[in-house]
Amino acid sequence: MARVKRGTTVRQKHNKILARAKGFLGRHHSTYRAAREKTEKAGQYAYRDRRVKKREFRSLWIVRINAAVRANGMTYSQFMNGLKKAGVVLDRKVLAEMAYAGDANFAKLVETAKRFSAAESK
């Protein structure tokens, strides 16, 4: 029985890792051992940050909404509470887009939220 030489298999395996490491700096894109370590770590970061990205975007939207609402004389929590009482079901992403673009409809939403939060306090 002829012996199996694994040269081509190993080369394919190495090339797959080196292809994933394309664009890395230093010897991390050209040396198999360093590239393997870096791509493993990159995969861990990618897995973790797919979840973190959602958190970061939500906080960005809240910051944008808060800035626009404060320019209209309200706080973020009062605004969101007023919208909830008014039955407005817009998510934070859409509200942030409106606030960032300086949409006139956003000012109307703030007025609506003011009316409903004021009505609640009476």
DSSP 8-class letter at 21:
T
| Residue 56 counted as domain residue | yes
Q: Which domain covers residue 105, as residue numbers?
A: 7-121
Inside any domain, residue 95:
yes
Nearest to 113 by CA among 97, 96, 105, 100: 105
pTM of the model: 0.78
Rounded CA separation 78/84 (Å): 10
Q: Give residue-wise pLDDT tens across range 43-89.
A: 999 999 999 999 999 999 999 999 999 999 999 999 999 999 999 99
Domain count, the chain: 1
CATH number at residue 39: 1.10.1900.20
In a domain, 66, yes or no: yes
Query: Is residue 87 domain-resident?
Result: yes
For residues 71 and 82, the answer to whether their CB atoms sit within 8 Å is no
Q: Is residue 12 part of a domain?
A: yes
Summarised one tens digit per residue, pLDDT across range 47-60 is 999 999 999 999 99
- Whether 2 is covered by a domain: the verdict is no
**Domain-embedded: residue 104:** yes
Residue 122's pLDDT band (cuts 50, 70, 90): low
Residue 1: inside a domain, yes or no? Answer: no
